[in-house]
Structure 1
Amino acid sequence: MWIWRVFLLASLALFVPAAFAQAFHFDELTRIARERAAAPYVEPSSQLPPTLAALDYDGLRDIRFRPARALWRDAGSPFEAMFFHLGKYAPQPVLVNEVAPDGTVRHLPYLRTDFDYGRNAVDPDSWGDLGFAGFRVHYPLNNDAYKDELVVFLGASYFRALGAGQQYGLSARGLALDTVGGSGEEFPRFSEFWLERPAPGAKELVIHALLESPRATGAYRFVLQPGSSTALQVRARVFLRQGVPPVATLGIAPLTSMYLFGENQPRARDFRPEVHDSDGLMVATTGGEWLWRPLVHPKSVLVNSFQVDGLRGFGLMQRDRQFANYEDVEARYERRPSAWVRPLGDWGPGRVELVQLPIPDETHDNVVAYWVPERLPAPGEPLDLAYELSWQGDDQQRPPSGWAVQSRQGFGYVRDAAAVAGQTQFLVDFTGPSLAALGPEAPVRPVASADANGLIEEQNAYFNPATRTWRMQLRVRAIDPAQPIELRAFLQHGNDSLTETWTHIILPDAAR
């Protein structure tokens, strides 16, 4: 076994904590990110001890962090941190450090005594300082008697958080590179973290992270503020490397989610009406327009872009929050959070890109959304951005006037089926303050448009007395059935826009 220990020490020579000549601060982390962007990329080691690498899913689940060993457990802080063990499904180690109030840094080593290995026949004492797969932060989010999981950083640059009463769903990432438009997607990873020790009674926690990949590095600062909507204040300085090939699509504040089926795309032989972590993309522009794009499950890769001169916010949202619309007592999709990205400062022109993929079942993520700036920074030039990422539940970001609450596709009984052959019908229900202020007989009308491949055969709007919402009906025909149709529509009263702009893509039958 001594041979393994010698190999491990050699591999860790490439995996050492970033050195700080003075008290830790974000500018010093920026310096490290800039220097590493100018140097050749070093692939992280993923060599595991053979007995650890041999553990299957159940064996790894049997390794548990001991809560009594949680960081800050006896410090009087409402926050605690616990750590994830390395294994075949998370083989690349990350370094974790604690930053004291005076700015001094202490490396947090992997200790076998921090973990319960259950029934596994392993010898962790021989493994040395493996590092961790990631960590999670606990906080009394729902009541004072128990510290719930609040945020998790695990795998590449993925992380996810919760507000009160929520259940894990979609994830966020530090950065997305060439998800589409390049030679292949690259997954930057957080290689090292610095957790600032919280004071007793603290209401927020500060986390720093170093991001690295073959074509980018980044310095990140997260300020975690738990609540009914948990917020992460994110500051990022990203540096592109002189890479080959160069980065084609730089995705800022990427969100990753799952959409399998829903009201607009029901699934036969499944008792559940809907299965998704998010049901739509919302985009707000600095010009005052709000866009809503219901998600779909395509048969092949589907990419849509929403070009704007200025961004007020975007997010993958879970608007539908009624249990009866999911009927899943285990997954509880109605409790999955929405994630709303609000730029802090002017991000300039660019586009929100939405990528949707086919998946076999709900255990796979298939939706990605991110911001793409119009101009890429030159290699070594910092891209300095700040934003707030909110994990929202029932009380979530909505347009100020009106918004879509459901989008259904299809026909009911039709007396003359031939009259609607080749058409697609949508029924979209809207609600909101601007609509609630109107009487049922108000002259509300839809304003709908299609691209050059679509003919709108019928459009109308009427009050729905059952739900006290307003329903829009659209019937559309494709000029070329083999091509998609882009739709846009909103409700209007007089010269006043009453709702967000509902947008949808009608895919050819072969792609649906």
Structure 2
Amino acid sequence: MDTSAQRRQFLKSAAAAGLILPGMSMWQQAFAADAAKKLDLGKKHKFSFDALVERARKMAGKPYVAPKTPDKAILEQIDYAEHGKLKYKRDFAPFSDGSGTYPVTYFHMGQFFQKPVRMYLLENGMSQEVEYKTDYFEMPANSPARKLSENIGFAGFRLHENIKRDDWKTQDWVAFLGASYFRAIGDEGQYGLSARGIAVNTATPQGEEFPDFTEFYIEPAKSAEDPVTVYALLDGPSITGAYRFYLTRGKGVTMDVEKFLFIRKDIERFGVAPLTSMFWYSEQNRPFRMDWRPEVHDSDGLALWTGGGERIWRQLNNPEVTRASAFGDDNPRGFGLMQRDRDVSHYLDGVMYHRRPSLWVEPLGAWGKGAVQLVEIPTDDEIHDNIAAFWVPEAPAKAGQSYNFRYRLYWQAHTPYPLEKLAYAKATRLGRGGQEGLPRPKGLTKFVVDFEGDILGTLAYGEYPEAIISVSRGKLSRIKTEPIPDTSLWRAIFDLEVAGNDPVDMRMYLKRGDAPMSETWMYQHLPGLKNWDEQ
């Protein structure tokens, strides 16, 4: 009987003799030339996306079994610092031999990534599992990872830049790591916000559930123009799923996603195409003496393109309590969490917030009725992702139901569908209301919104756009628009008088005659929100 150890030793012996074994895959042949740089792969198995979908369907009909965490006590010792020392050796990167364009490296398990994820390579409809070895990682002699069991598994993977680039070993462009999280760089070469496979019961009383990608199957891109194809199996207490990703490296990163989802248990908030980001503060809510930097955020607004054609910008908030907002729609054209402010002087630190990507979701096919929901969670630091946005179908997700969604993700600096004939909201600021030079009444807040766009340059001298404003409660006054000297910007200004601490939902756009000149600016004013130094 040929055991796994015997099989590996046989392959090493064959490689040492300079043999190329019949039936070996292209990456096995490449690595067999040097036994010290050869991946250990499992047996070949047939693979198809249809079969993966069927597996997910059958899993949903059975009780959920949580994945076991092997060697938990040891993994707990691999904290952030220790995990950072475990670097996958590029010599073992699949497809770095030229059999593909974008090499793959794997993440090690650790204190924060304790669930093993099985990794497979695909070729000609056949899959082979990549078996974990400590040899694959740069690992200090005293690392706790050396005590882990054989073939414990990996935590995730990432794709590196084209092997024709001199810096491919140090530059990656996509990473899948933790639960169903994944992210990509934009066209300015920087990571930022994340996407997820699914969001289950985000910000609900029963608590959020985080299903896991438990298996990945990676098929290489043969050229820079081709996508890397990744298949994934999802499993969680309330849901299972099968995913297919086409990952294309171009202007930023574009991902075509198709997923089949199967509901095990009723889900209160079923979030499709979820995006996760961080918003601490910007120019409109910067607390006094809280931090030395002008702004700190991965995203500054939610952009919406409704099925009816309206373009909306909802400025993000850092609220005092968790808040969820819903924007009802029918067959939306797209939505995204955007980093609209690209001025480096507005951030002034070394982590390059001005280069963080925006992420736009474009539905492929009809999604029907539902709502884009925005969840904003309080945070007092930049280390927490406190913003989530996703599509929620109108009909509730019940046990036994199944779904199929297709959409495209654009990771780039700006929306792939710019506002061609409308101005956009560039900045939002708040201050004390009333007339300058006179005592400022209490309970009166001044709102100042700057707009920019070529259409504003068509205004004749002395011609002013009209600001159309509506609020859910309160009294408006001192409404006006004005050009900002020495810029191409126009500014809308108004005061709001409101009693109590309940939120105020606000909408505004600029118009000339009967025609809109801007997108719709939306904001949720929180009258009871104090500066951090006042709490």
Q: Same fold (TM over 0.5)?
A: yes
1:116 and 2:116 are equivalent in the alignment = no
Q: 1:250 aligns with which of 247, 250, 270?
A: 270
In the alignment, what sits opposite 1:507? Answer: 526
| Distance in 1 separating the partners of 2:172 and 2:375 | 29
Paired residues of 1:59 and 1:120 also in contact (CA < 8 A)? no
| Distance in 2 separating the partners of 1:19 and 1:370 | 39
Letter in 1 for 2:375: V
1:191 and 2:214 are equivalent in the alignment = yes
Measured after TM superposition, the shift of residue 164 of structure 1 is: 3.0
Q: Deviations over 1:51-79 (max 9, x none)?
A: 44323322221111111111111025320
SS in structure 1 of the partner of residue 333 of structure 2? strand
1:320 and 2:365 are equivalent in the alignment = no
| Distance in 2 separating the partners of 1:509 and 1:431 | 30
| Distance in 2 separating the partners of 1:99 and 1:287 | 42
1:103 and 2:125 are equivalent in the alignment = yes
Measured after TM superposition, the shift of residue 123 of structure 1 is: 7.0
Measured after TM superposition, the shift of residue 360 of structure 1 is: 2.3
Letter in 2 for 1:213: G
Paired residues of 1:193 and 1:209 also in contact (CA < 8 A)? yes
Residue 417 to residue 108, structure 1, CA distance change in 2 (3 Å):
same
Letter in 2 for 1:414: E
1:217 and 2:236 are equivalent in the alignment = no
Q: How does 1:316-355 map to 2 (within 5 A)?
A: 316-328=337-349, 330-355=350-375
Q: 1:300 aligns with which of 321, 331, 348?
A: 321
Measured after TM superposition, the shift of residue 402 of structure 1 is: 1.7
Q: How does 1:145-224 map to 2 (within 5 A)?
A: 145-147=166-168, 148-201=171-224, 203-224=226-247
| Distance in 2 separating the partners of 1:81 and 1:262 | 37
Residue 376 to residue 463, structure 1, CA distance change in 2 (3 Å):
same
Letter in 2 for 1:473: I
Q: Deviations over 1:342-371 (max 9, x none)?
A: 100110111111111111211111111111
Letter in 1 for 2:272: I
Q: Deviations over 1:365-407 (max 9, x none)?
A: 1111111000135433321110011111157543332210111
Question: How much is the aligned-residue C-alpha RMSD, in angstroms?
Answer: 2.3
| Distance in 2 separating the partners of 1:170 and 1:292 | 18
| Distance in 1 separating the partners of 2:358 and 2:442 | 37
Letter in 2 for 1:144: R
| Distance in 1 separating the partners of 2:415 and 2:202 | 31
| Distance in 1 separating the partners of 2:362 and 2:43 | 33
1:232 and 2:255 are equivalent in the alignment = yes
Q: Deviations over 1:77-106 (max 9, x none)?
A: 320100011111111000011110x20111
Residue 20 to residue 343, structure 1, CA distance change in 2 (3 Å):
farther
- Structure 1 spans left out of the alignment, 5+ residues: 1-16
Q: 2:383 aligns with which of 349, 359, 363?
A: 363
Residue 182 to residue 383, structure 1, CA distance change in 2 (3 Å):
farther
Paired residues of 1:316 and 1:338 also in contact (CA < 8 A)? yes
Measured after TM superposition, the shift of residue 233 of structure 1 is: 0.5
In the alignment, what sits opposite 1:138? Answer: 160
Letter in 2 for 1:71: P
Paired residues of 2:71 and 2:148 also in contact (CA < 8 A)? no
- Structure 2 spans left out of the alignment, 5+ residues: 1-40
Letter in 2 for 1:232: M
Paired residues of 2:92 and 2:136 also in contact (CA < 8 A)? yes
SS in structure 1 of the partner of residue 508 of structure 2? strand
Q: 1:415 aligns with which of 437, 449, 453?
A: 437
In the alignment, what sits opposite 1:13? Answer: none
| Distance in 2 separating the partners of 1:170 and 1:389 | 13
| Distance in 2 separating the partners of 1:440 and 1:25 | 65
| Distance in 2 separating the partners of 1:106 and 1:481 | 62
Q: 1:127 aligns with which of 149, 152, 172?
A: 149
Q: Deviations over 1:268-327 (max 9, x none)?
A: 232211000000011110101111111111121121111112311111100000100111
SS in structure 1 of the partner of residue 158 of structure 2? strand
In the alignment, what sits opposite 1:36? Answer: 59
Q: In terms of mean alpha carbon deviation, does 486-495 or 58-67 score higher?
A: 58-67
Residue 510 to residue 471, structure 1, CA distance change in 2 (3 Å):
closer
Q: 1:438 aligns with which of 449, 459, 469?
A: 459
Residue 487 to residue 35, structure 1, CA distance change in 2 (3 Å):
same
| Distance in 2 separating the partners of 1:20 and 1:240 | 31
Measured after TM superposition, the shift of residue 508 of structure 1 is: 2.6
Paired residues of 2:188 and 2:357 also in contact (CA < 8 A)? no
| Distance in 2 separating the partners of 1:411 and 1:72 | 60
| Distance in 2 separating the partners of 1:18 and 1:36 | 23
Q: 2:510 aligns with which of 485, 491, 502?
A: 491
Task: State the structure with more CA Rg.
Answer: 2
Q: 2:482 aligns with which of 462, 468, 471?
A: 462
Q: In terms of mean alpha carbon deviation, does 50-59 or 218-227 score higher?
A: 50-59
TM-score (norm. length: structure 2): 0.86
Paired residues of 1:448 and 1:488 also in contact (CA < 8 A)? yes
In the alignment, what sits opposite 1:4? Answer: none
| Distance in 2 separating the partners of 1:334 and 1:376 | 38
In the alignment, what sits opposite 1:376? Answer: 396
Measured after TM superposition, the shift of residue 202 of structure 1 is: 5.1
Residue 214 to residue 18, structure 1, CA distance change in 2 (3 Å):
farther
SS in structure 1 of the partner of residue 308 of structure 2? coil
Q: In terms of mean alpha carbon deviation, does 396-405 or 108-117 score higher?
A: 396-405
In the alignment, what sits opposite 1:268? Answer: 288
| Distance in 2 separating the partners of 1:72 and 1:18 | 17
| Distance in 2 separating the partners of 1:50 and 1:438 | 68
Measured after TM superposition, the shift of residue 227 of structure 1 is: 1.8
Q: 2:423 aligns with which of 366, 385, 402?
A: 402
